[in-house]
Amino acid sequence: MNVNVVLQRIRQAMAEKNLKQIDISRGTGIPQPTLSRSFSQAAKVTPTHRKICKYLGISLTEDMGGAGAQALHQAVLDAWDGTERHAQALANLVRAAARASAASSTWGKSS
C-alpha cells in the first residue's frame, strides 16, 4: 500500500476521533518524535505506521487487490512448492528484496 494513502487514512481517523500525535504516542507507546518523523519523512509504510493503524482500527489489507498484488500473488504461487519451509524461504526473499530496495534508494544521497 502506498505510504501517502496510509498517512491520509491515519490523519482522517485522527481527525474523526479528535486525536493528536501525543494521544497516539500515549496509546501506542511510540515516542512522539518517532511519530512526527513517520508523518513527515515517510518513504514507505513502516512498522510504526502499522502500529498506528492497528491502534486506530485501520485495515491495511483491504486495498491489496490491485493488478500488482495479483501479479505478486501469482508469482508466489508459481514459485512455491507448497511447504511451510519453502513459504518461509520465499517470505525471507521478499523481505530481503525490500531491504535491498530501501538501501539502494538511499545510495548516492548525502547524509
Q: Is the pLDDT of residue 32 over 70?
A: yes
**Of 59, 46, 37, the residue nearest 99 (C-alpha):** 46
pLDDT digits (tens, 9 = 90+) for 73-106: 788 889 989 899 998 999 899 888 878 876 665 5
3-state secondary structure of 13: helix
What is the reported pTM?
A: 0.58
Confidence at residue 101, expressed as pLDDT on a 0 to 100 scale: 73
* Exposure on the CB side of residue 107, measured as CA atoms within 13 A: 6
Confidence at residue 111, expressed as pLDDT on a 0 to 100 scale: 46
